[in-house]
Structure 1
Amino acid sequence: MVSGPEHAGLPHPLPGAIGLSHLSAYDWEAADGVCGGSPHLHLVCTEAYVVTGGRGAVQTLSPDGYRDIPLEAGSIAWFTPGTVHRMVQGGDLRITVLMQNSGLPEAGDAVFTFPPELLADPDRYAAAATLPPGTGPRTAAAARRRRDLAVEGYLGLREALVAGDKGPYLEFQRAAARLVRDKVPTWRDLWRAGALATAERTGAQLDALASGEPAHLDEATAYEAAPTRLGGFGMCGRRDEYSLPGTTLPHQEE
C-alpha cells in the first residue's frame, strides 16, 4: 500500500529509483551443512544488505577470491555486478535489501549458480528457476529445490576459486551473460525510465535553482507505504515486498 497525492504518476517513487525489500534468511540446511539462500549474481545491479536483526553471513565469490562476511545488527555489506553471493543464516537474521536500478532485478537481472548443463539450456534453466505462484507448501518445496541446485553449482565454483582456479567462476559469469542477453533492450528501457530519469530530474532541478525559478518545489509532498506481501519466497530467504512501481514485485514467482 502506498498513499500520497499523485503517487500513481511517479514511476519510481523511492529515492534514487532503488529497489527495497526485507529478507529473513532461509533456515533450510544445504548439502554442505549450511543454512541459507540460493547463491546467484546480478549482471548490472549493485546490491546492499542492511542488517536489522540477528546474525549470519554473506559468502561471496569474485575475482579477488572467496569471502565469508559476518553479518550482525547494524552492519552493512554490498556487492557489485558479477559477485556471486549466498546469504547464510546464523540465527534470526533479518535484512533490509537496497537494490540499484529498481526494476531490473524484477525483469531478470539475476542468475543462479546452477550446474553448467542447466546454464547451457535456457529452457531448462527457466524451468528450474521459476517458482509456482503463492506462498504455500508447493512453492516452498520448489524454492528449496531451486536453492539446492544453486548450492550444487556454487560449491564447485567455490572449491575451484579457493584452489586458485578462476576458470569455472569466469565461465559461470559468461554463461550468465549469455542467458540474459536477449533481455538487455527491456532493461535499457527500464533504466531510462527509472535510474537515468531520476538522475536527469536532479539535473533539471539544479538548473532551476541556478536560474532562481525552483518551480519543482511547488510539487513537494509526502508518501507512505506498507508491505503488501509478507513471507514470499525470494532468492535468499522469505521476503516482505512493497507494491511500489519498479520496486520488489517478483518477475517470475507470481
Structure 2
Amino acid sequence: MTISSFPGGTSLSHLDVYGSAAPDGVCGGSPHMHLVSTEAYLVVEGRGTLQAIDGEGFHETDLEAGSVVWFTPGTIHRAVNRGGLKIIVLMSNAGLPEAGDAVMTFPAEILADPAAYDEAASIGDSYGRSERVEARRDLAVTGFGRLRDAVRSGDLGPLKDFHAAAGALVQARAEDWGRLVRERPLAQAERSLALTRAVARGDIAHLSDARVHQAIPSEGARKYGMCGRLRTYDVTD
C-alpha cells in the first residue's frame, strides 16, 4: 500500500483548462461525471464557468481567482474557459478516478457499447494526441448538450438513462474501488481516530514523528486530462 498523510486521502493536480472551442463555440474541457468521488476546484487565475447538471437540473457557476467550488458524485460537469482559467483540483479517493470512476457524456449509442466507449475515450500515446483530445471533447459536448436541453425542458428521462448507462459501463471496474477507499481515505480517518484516543488517554508519543512533506510535481509537459492540461503531484510520504 502507498502511504500518504496528505489531507483527506485526496489527490492534487494543477489544471490549465483547454482554451480551444467545441462545436457549440464554447471553450473548455470534456463534460463528464464521477460515480463515487467528489471534486473541488480552487481557482488561481483567469475566469470561466462551471456548467453542471445535478439533482436540481442545469446551472452555471462563475469562476474567477479565489473561487472555491466542489461537486459531489453524480454531478455532470463541464469546465468552461473564458480567459486563462487555471485551477488547483482536489479529488477525493485518491487513485479512484484513474481506476475508472469518471464517465464522459458521449451519446447514448456509444455509452451502450463498452468497446465503442473505450475507443472514443482513448487518446493514444503517440502523435496527434491533441487532435484526439479535441475529438473526444467534442463528442462529449454533443452528449452533454442533449442532456442539458432535455433537463431544461423538464424531461429527466435522458439523464436517468445516462446514469444507468454509466453505472453499467463501470460496474466491473468498481469491484476494486473499495480497496482503494479502505487503503487511502478510510485508513487515514482511522489513523486520526486512533490519535484522538491516544491523546485522550494522555499518550502523545506520535508527536515526535512529526515531519514536513513536499509534493513532487510531475516532470515534462503537462498531461492531457479531460478538462485541460494537467500537472499532477506525488503526495505520498
TM-score, length of structure 1 as denominator length: 0.89
Residues in 2 aligned to 1:76 and 1:133: alpha-carbon distance in whole angstroms: 33
Question: Which amino acid in 2 is paired with 1:238?
Answer: R
Question: Which of 94, 104, 108 in structure 2 is aligned with 1:112?
Answer: 104
Question: Which amino acid in 2 is paired with 1:170?
Answer: K
Note if 1:161 corresponds to 2:151. yes
Asked whether the 8 Å contact 2:11–2:235 carries over to 1, the reply is no
Asked whether the 8 Å contact 1:45–1:105 carries over to 2, the reply is yes
Question: Which amino acid in 1 is paired with 2:30?
Answer: S
Structure 1 counterpart of 2:65: 73
Task: Please state how far the C-alpha of 1:63 moved relative to its aligned partner.
Answer: 2.1
Residues in 2 aligned to 1:184 and 1:219: alpha-carbon distance in whole angstroms: 35
Task: Note the 1:170-249 alignment, pairs <5 A.
Answer: 170-229=160-219, 230-245=221-236
Tell me the alpha carbon deviations over residues 74-126 of structure 1, each in whole angstroms, 9 at most, x when there is no partner: 01111110010000010000100011111111111100000111100111111
Question: Which of 56, 61, 78 in structure 1 is aligned with 2:48?
Answer: 56
Residues in 2 aligned to 1:29 and 1:192: alpha-carbon distance in whole angstroms: 40
Stretch of structure 1 that moved more, 12-21 or 73-82: 12-21
Structure-2 change in CA distance of 1:175 and 1:121 (3 Å): same
5+ residue gaps in structure 2?
A: none
Matched length = 236
Q: Aligned-residue CA RMSD in angstroms?
A: 1.6
Structure 2 counterpart of 1:32: 24
Task: Please state how far the C-alpha of 1:10 moved relative to its aligned partner.
Answer: 5.5
Question: Which amino acid in 1 is paired with 2:45?
Answer: G
Residues in 1 aligned to 2:159 and 2:2: alpha-carbon distance in whole angstroms: 40
Structure 2 counterpart of 1:17: 9
Question: Which of 101, 118, 123 in structure 1 is aligned with 2:115?
Answer: 123
Q: Name the % identity.
A: 49
Asked whether the 8 Å contact 1:39–1:87 carries over to 2, the reply is yes
TM-score, length of structure 2 as denominator length: 0.95
Asked whether the 8 Å contact 2:216–2:235 carries over to 1, the reply is no
5+ residue gaps in structure 1?
A: 1-8, 246-254
Runs ≥4 residues deviating over 4 A: none
Asked whether the 8 Å contact 1:45–1:109 carries over to 2, the reply is yes
Structure-2 change in CA distance of 1:243 and 1:79 (3 Å): same
Asked whether the 8 Å contact 1:63–1:166 carries over to 2, the reply is no
Residues in 2 aligned to 1:190 and 1:235: alpha-carbon distance in whole angstroms: 22
Task: Please state how far the C-alpha of 1:12 moved relative to its aligned partner.
Answer: 2.4
Residues in 2 aligned to 1:76 and 1:241: alpha-carbon distance in whole angstroms: 19
Asked whether the 8 Å contact 2:78–2:227 carries over to 1, the reply is yes
SS in 1 for 2:149: helix
Stretch of structure 1 that moved more, 210-219 or 145-154: 210-219
